[in-house]
Amino acid sequence: MVRARYDMVSAYLYRRMADGPEFLLLRRTPGDYMGGTWQPVFGGIREGETAATAALREIAEETGLTPIRFHQIDSVLIFYVAKMDTVYHAPVFAAEIATDAAIQLNQEHDAYEWRPVAEAIGRFIWPGQRSAAREVVDEVIVGGAAVEYLEIALD
């Protein structure tokens, strides 16, 4: 019987540049699961954490960054991994990063790139990631009707 897990989060980091917004892409370390692929921040929720707290922790762990603005996204990534016969559900977050912020990668990634929106979206290999990134653009970066309700206060 297929299992369901609800202990993952995904965060799309972006910055607002003069030429337009850019997304941060992280490349998985070779030899790791999906090594060499580009992705947003992705990780697990620990016991006692909320999804938002987990996303902020994962952002800090994987990039060394602290967002200047933080939003939940209406979408939830839902994907199936046959090898584990498991459906995963991962809430999605958007994190605005200062344009001059310095990145410090952890061992999960061996490279990063800031890329314009269209190029970044084209580099994500999974349809759900591309859809979530488009929603970040439409609802947060451009500012959809619900943007003020999606923002999460940073304390």
Residue among 68, 49, 57, 50 nearest 11 (CA)? 57
Q: Residue 69 has what pLDDT? A: 97
Residues 6+ apart with CB under 8 A from 63: 13, 24, 26, 41, 103, 104, 105, 112
pLDDT digits (tens, 9 = 90+) for 124-151: 999 999 999 999 999 999 999 999 999 9
> Strand 20-28 vs strand 109-116: parallel, antiparallel, or unpaired?
antiparallel
pLDDT digits (tens, 9 = 90+) for 33-80: 878 899 999 999 999 999 999 999 999 999 999 999 999 999 999 999
Phi, psi at 121, each rounded to 5° = -60, -40
Q: What is the mean pLDDT of the chain?
A: 95
Reported pTM? 0.95
Phi, psi at 138, each rounded to 5° = -65, -45
pLDDT at position 20 over 90: yes
